[in-house]
């Protein structure tokens, strides 16, 4: 996880960020399993199209955005949603920074725009998603349903969200520490109920546990972490964008303290050690009298 953070930190600028979560209704799960790869591609495009449109109309500037797909709920059910780490402002065409203020965009306005964009793209690709009749039967009622976009207050430098996403990106649908027992027939797991924020247990048959886990195995070579706006590749960036310096560096790791499981002493982290540099941590041999 630390290696991922160290690779990601240089790509994030030293500005405040917002954390947004775009969630789709569970009714779309029926279409999702028909063609998971296509549904993911359409979801990423709809999320970024929404952010790009509102940054154009509300800021007249281009945002920097890091998007990460999660497909599971706390009980391992299918629950596709995208976490976005978005800069609290953007660069205009002249390369000047435009601050977004205390709030990014109005969620009540973004939700219907995102809903229409995603459902329309699904309908346009209906033949690849189970057929036009099958798709229309599911998506027609969803045009009238309220969709959820969650947004937080500003994060300082996006530090909190990157640590949060790191646990998901490298953790998978469930961590070993959440599996309580397995008796050969059933698996007992613990999960945190989002309704009352209390830890609870759930027992699933072995087949059901495997079914839920397999739902989150994504197609090969499909990137679940993507960068957009001026965080994307050079060809997508503004021509007058200032050079992005690696301001944050290892501060993401600086406040975290972990302890050795054997002796309980706080551990120091030294990434990218080589054979030569590791020698300074090896104590000299003890002198033994002849």
Report the CATH number that the domain containing residue 147 is assigned in CATH: 3.40.1310
Q: 183 and 101 share a domain?
A: no
Given this model, what pLDDT does residue 145 score?
93
Total Cβ atoms within 10 A of residue 37: 13
Is the predicted pLDDT of residue 156 greater than 80, yes or no? Answer: no
**Residue 275 located in a structural domain:** no
Q: 116 and 197 share a domain?
A: no
Quick: pLDDT tens for 11-44.
Answer: 667 778 898 999 999 999 999 999 999 999 999 9
**Residue 232 located in a structural domain:** yes
Is the predicted pLDDT of residue 81 greater than 90, yes or no? Answer: yes
Quick: pLDDT tens for 183-198.
Answer: 989 999 999 888 888 9
- What length is written for the chain? 290
**Residue 226 located in a structural domain:** yes
Block residue for tokens 């027939």: 185
Q: 151 and 194 share a domain?
A: no
pTM above 0.85, yes or no: no
Is the predicted pLDDT of residue 278 greater than 70, yes or no? Answer: no
Quick: pLDDT tens for 47-62.
Answer: 999 999 999 999 999 9
* Total number of domains constituting the chain: 2
Q: HSE-up of 106 (CA within 13 Å, CB side)?
A: 6
**Residue 194 located in a structural domain:** yes
Q: 27 and 125 share a domain?
A: yes
**Residue 143 located in a structural domain:** yes
Q: 183 and 69 share a domain?
A: no
Q: 107 and 36 share a domain?
A: yes
Q: What span, in angstroms and rounded, lies between the C-alpha atoms of 282 and 290?
A: 24
Domain that holds residue 206: 174-215
Q: 48 and 101 share a domain?
A: yes
């Amino acid at each position: 996880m630390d290696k991922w953070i160290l690779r990601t930190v240089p790509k994030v600028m030293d500005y405040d960020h917002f954390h947004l979560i775009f969630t789709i209704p569970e009714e779309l799960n029926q279409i999702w399993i028909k063609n998971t790869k296509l549904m993911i591609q359409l979801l990423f495009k709809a999320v970024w199209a929404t952010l790009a449109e509102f940054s154009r109309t509300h800021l007249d500037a281009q945002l920097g955005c890091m998007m990460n797909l999660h497909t599971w709920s706390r009980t391992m059910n299918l629950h596709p949603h995208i976490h976005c780490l978005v800069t609290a402002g953007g660069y205009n065409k002249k390369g000047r920074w435009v601050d977004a203020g205390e709030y990014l965009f109005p969620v009540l306005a973004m939700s219907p725009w995102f809903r229409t964009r995603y459902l329309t793209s699904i309908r346009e690709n209906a033949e690849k998603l189970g057929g036009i009749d099958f798709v229309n039967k599911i998506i027609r009622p969803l045009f009238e349903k309220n969709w959820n976009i969650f947004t937080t207050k500003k994060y300082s430098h996006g530090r909190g969200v990157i640590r949060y996403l790191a646990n998901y990106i490298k953790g998978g649908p469930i961590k070993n520490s959440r599996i309580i027992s397995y008796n050969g027939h059933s698996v007992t797991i613990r999960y945190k109920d989002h309704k009352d924020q209390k830890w609870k247990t759930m027992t699933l048959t072995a087949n059901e546990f495997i079914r839920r886990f397999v739902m989150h195995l994504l197609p090969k070579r499909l990137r679940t972490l993507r960068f957009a706006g001026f965080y994307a590749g050079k060809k997508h960036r503004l021509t007058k964008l200032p050079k992005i310096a690696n301001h944050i560096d290892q501060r993401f790791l600086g406040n975290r303290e972990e302890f050795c499981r054997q002796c309980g002493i706080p551990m120091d982290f030294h990434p990218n050690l080589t054979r030569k540099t590791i020698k300074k941590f090896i104590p000299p041999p003890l002198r033994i009298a002849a």
